[in-house]
Amino acid sequence: MTALARREQGRVEFRLDVGENGRVTGCTITRSSGSRWLDSTTCRILRSRARYTPARNS
């Protein structure tokens, strides 16, 4: 069952680790919504969809 199906709502705060290629390499929940479903879904979606433009200089 998903958070959507369970009609759960909440605010999740997170930290992303981003590799040199701009892809997410890690996701850490820094403040839980109180729902393990929302927390895990947040990281799953960010790992699969988030992309960043890598820095080109120091």
Q: Is 56 part of any domain? A: no
Residue 57 lies in a domain: no
**Closest to 42 measured CA to CA, from 10, 19, 6:** 10
Tell me, yes or no, whether 42 lies in a domain. yes
Q: What pLDDT, on a 0 to 100 scale, did the predictor assign at position 20?
A: 87
CA angle 27/32/36 to nearest 5° reads 85
Q: Which residues are bridge partners to 55 per DSSP?
A: none
> The domain containing residue 21 runs over which residues?
13-49
Cα 12 to Cα 4, 17, 20, 31, 37: the distances in Å are 15, 16, 25, 6, 11
Total count of domains within the chain? 1
Q: What is the pLDDT of residue 6?
A: 80
Q: Please report the pLDDT score of residue 58 as a whole number.
A: 65
In a domain, 4, yes or no: no
The pTM (predicted TM-score) of the whole model is: 0.76
Which segments of the chain are extended strands (E)? 13-18, 24-31
Is residue 1 included in any domain, yes or no?
no
Residue 28: what pLDDT? 97
**Predicted confidence (pLDDT) per residue in 1-58, tens digit:** 677 778 888 999 999 999 988 899 999 999 999 999 999 999 999 999 999 987 777 6
